[in-house]
């Protein structure tokens, strides 16, 4: 299993920018950026967070990095349980 198998589906495009994370068709996480604070949750627990340049939407230079790191953190939390 690899974190790259986690699929992100964007549910809101701005203010806040948010995503649901799926693995094998089951929801495993939630990601949200609002007021310059980004977090990723697994089973309701924050497993990754960061302060961003973007306020309610990522700056174009940071989206890929933060989404990838979030998928990695969700994957690590999944493999611990």
What backbone torsions phi and psi does residue 75 show, to the nearest 5 degrees?
Answer: -60, -45
Q: What is the pTM of this model?
A: 0.94
What one-character DSSP code corresponds to residue 69?
Answer: H
pLDDT, tens only, 56-81: 999 999 999 999 999 999 999 999 96
The C-alpha atoms of residue 33 and residue 36 are separated, in whole angstroms, by 7
User: Is the pLDDT confidence value at 1 over 80?
Assistant: no
Question: Can you give the length of the chain in residues?
Answer: 81
42: left (phi over 0), alpha (psi -120 to 50) or beta: beta
Helix (H, G, I), strand (E, B) or coil at 64: helix
Query: What is the tens place of the pLDDT at every residue in 7-27?
Result: 999 999 999 999 999 999 999
């Amino acid at each position: 299993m690899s974190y790259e198998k986690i699929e992100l589906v964007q549910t809101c495009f701005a203010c806040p920018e948010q995503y649901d994370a799926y693995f094998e068709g089951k929801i495993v996480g939630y990601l949200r950026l609002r007021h310059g604070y980004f977090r990723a949750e697994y089973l309701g627990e924050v497993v990754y967070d960061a302060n961003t340049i973007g306020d309610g939407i990522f700056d174009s230079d940071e989206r890929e990095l933060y989404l990838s790191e979030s998928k990695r953190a969700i994957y690590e939390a999944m493999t611990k349980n």
